[in-house]
Amino acid sequence: MGNRVAELNRAVESALNQIDGDVEVVIVGNGADVPELSATPPDGSSATVKTVRLEENVGIPAGRNRGVEECSGDVVLFLDDDGWYANQKVAAHVRDRFATEPDLAVLSFRVMDPEGTGSQRRHVPRLRAGDPERSSPVTTFLGGASAVRRSAFLQVGGLPERFFYAHEETDLAWRLLGEGYRIEYDAETVMYHPWVPPTRHDNFYRLNARNRVWLARRNLPWPLAALYLIDWVVLTLLRERSGQALKAWFGGFVEGLRTPAGERRPMAWRTAWRMVKLGRPPIV
């Protein structure tokens, strides 16, 4: 967005300083000019930096899709401008995993607070999130702290751009699982990110609810879609105490029912069963 120059420098520097791996950095200005940066590749490095400016803020999924289109590598790592890699071996570790595991489509990284307060529960993409240092297969991932196999990403159409923000990674993950790929939370690969609540975004509740409805309408057989949405209505009523938040959430829910969700490609029942065996059935 062009408003965090120091943080963007730190993020780019952490990517350029990766060792034992060919690194190509693509910076997407989402409706904003990419600021002039001081971060440069180390001496002797083959790393390159490319910038892309989009005329308007098209949202997180569309911005990431544009970045993938500009990449030439086999594996793409997504990094938000306020995050950075914990060490210089992330790229090499990711490269080796994708090279030796052909069914691996996504690695979701462990996100840690740089102040030492650990990992937020929401940053561990599974129901049993109590031990963030345990790697495991998962059914979704964190978009800003992840690596994807570019061919698999393009095969299923990338991130759903109409979502703008919220649940776009789950939509992509479900479609990848339907194609037989594997997604894993890799606790060994660490990204630092400040401890911030997701509710800092003005439209958090509305987009969260709208996109849950779109997610179900696009990807789930109708019986599962109904269970998924009923489940989230109940969970939201149990969790939220703010009348203003509930009003925004249910407004988004109705919007999701009334507006086009995009292409419907319901997952096969065998994919749903696979998710059950992975510990997260597609109803929660």
Q: What pLDDT does 2 receive?
A: 82
Percent of the chain residues past pLDDT 90, beyond the cut: 84
Task: Give CA–CA dist 139/141, Å, rounded.
Answer: 7
Q: Which of 144, 132, 142 shows the shortest CA–CA distance to 63?
A: 144
Are residue 23 and residue 152 in the same domain, yes or no? Answer: yes
Domain count, the chain: 2
pLDDT tens digits for range 230-247:
999 999 999 998 999 999
Q: Is the pLDDT of residue 174 over 70?
A: yes
Based on the domain organization, do 185 and 239 belong to the same domain? no
Instruction: For residues 130 and 31, give the distance between their C-alpha atoms in angstroms, rounded to a whole number.
Output: 38
Residues 6+ apart with CB under 8 A from 20: 89, 91, 92
The answer on 160 and 60 residing in a single domain is yes
Average predicted confidence (pLDDT) for the chain: 94
Please choose, from the candidates 181, 127, 126, 129, the residue with its C-alpha nearest in 3D space to the C-alpha of residue 153. 181
Query: Residue 282 falls within a domain, yes or no?
Result: no
Q: Whole-angstrom Cα distance, residue 12 to residue 37?
A: 9
- For residue 114, the model assigns a pLDDT of 86
Does residue 59 lie within any of the structural domains?
yes
Domain boundary among 196, 214, 235: 196
Whether residue 101 is found in the same domain as residue 41: yes
Same domain, 129 and 104: yes
Of 142, 166, 196, which residue constitutes the final position of a domain? 196
Q: Is residue 283 part of a domain?
A: no
Mean pLDDT, residues 250-273 taken together: 98
> Does one domain contain both 155 and 263?
no
Q: What is the DSSP letter of 123?
A: G
Residue carrying structure tokens 């793409």: 76
pLDDT confidence bin for 59, thresholds 50/70/90: very high
Asked whether residue 235 falls in the same domain as residue 192, the answer is no
| pLDDT over 90 at 21, yes or no | no
Instruction: Scan for tokens 């993950």, then name that residue.
Output: 173
pLDDT value of position 152: 98
* 5 membership: H or E segment, kind and range: helix 5-16
> What residues make up the domain containing 102?
5-196
Reported as a single tens digit per residue, the pLDDT across 109-138 is: 999 988 866 667 788 999 888 899 999 999
**What integer pLDDT is reported at residue 117 of this predicted model?**
66
Domain boundary among 196, 224, 247: 196
Selection from 229, 215, 221 nearest residue 283 by Cα: 229
Does one domain contain both 10 and 54? yes
pLDDT score, position 128: 87
